[in-house]
C-alpha cells in the first residue's frame, strides 16, 4: 500500500470520526486531551512506513488504526499494541500483495491522557517498526 492509499484510509477514518464527534456531546474529559487525533508516524529499521491513526469514536471509545507499509508481500510480523501500558492487541499479521498490513481496533477511552504504542517485528528478518502517540 502506498502513501496515497494510507491518506485515503486516513480521510475515511477522519470522516467517520468527525461524524461521531458531531453527534456526541463533548465532555470535560475530551476537552483536557493532551494530543491531537489523527495520523502519527513512527520509524522502521530499514525501509518501510509505520503509522498509527487515532480518532474519537462513539462516546467513551477511541478508534486505533495501526499500519505498516512498503514491505515484502507474504512476510509475517509479530504485532503488539498497547494503550496506557495495557496490551489491547497481540498477534501475527501477514503482509498483503500491496506490501502492507493493518490492524484496526476500538478501545475504551480511559480517563485522562491516552498513551498508545505499537511495535511490529518481522519474524524472518528481524526488522522492527515502532510508533507511539498521546491523545
Q: What is the CATH number of the domain that holds 61?
A: 2.60.40.10
| Strands (DSSP E) found in 12-124 | 38-41, 43-44, 49-56, 61-69, 76-83, 86-94, 101-108, 115-122
Amino acid 23: pLDDT:
31
Output the average pLDDT for the chain. 82
Domain count of the fold of the chain: 1
Domain that holds residue 67: 3-134
Q: What is the pLDDT of residue 34?
A: 52
Question: pLDDT at position 135, please?
Answer: 86
pLDDT in tens, 51-72: 999 998 888 999 999 999 999 9
pLDDT of residue 4: 53
Q: What is the mean pLDDT of residues 91-110?
A: 96
Amino acid at each position: 500500500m502506498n502513501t496515497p492509499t494510507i491518506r485515503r484510509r486516513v480521510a475515511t477514518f477522519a470522516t467517520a470520526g468527525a461524524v461521531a464527534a458531531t453527534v456526541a456531546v463533548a465532555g470535560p474529559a475530551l476537552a483536557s486531551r493532551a494530543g491531537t487525533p489523527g495520523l502519527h508516524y513512527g520509524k522502521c529499521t530499514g525501509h518501510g512506513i509505520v503509522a498509527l491513526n487515532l480518532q474519537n469514536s462513539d462516546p467513551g471509545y477511541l478508534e486505533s488504526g495501526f499500519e505498516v507499509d512498503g514491505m515484502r508481500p507474504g512476510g509475517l510480523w509479530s504485532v503488539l499494541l498497547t494503550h496506557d501500558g495495557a496490551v489491547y492487541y497481540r498477534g501475527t499479521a501477514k503482509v498483503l500483495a500491496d506490501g502492507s498490513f493493518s490492524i484496526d481496533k476500538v478501545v475504551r477511552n480511559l480517563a485522562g491522557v491516552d498513551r498508545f504504542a505499537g511495535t511490529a517485528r518481522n519474524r524472518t528478518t528481524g526488522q522492527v517498526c515502532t510508533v507511539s502517540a498521546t491523545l
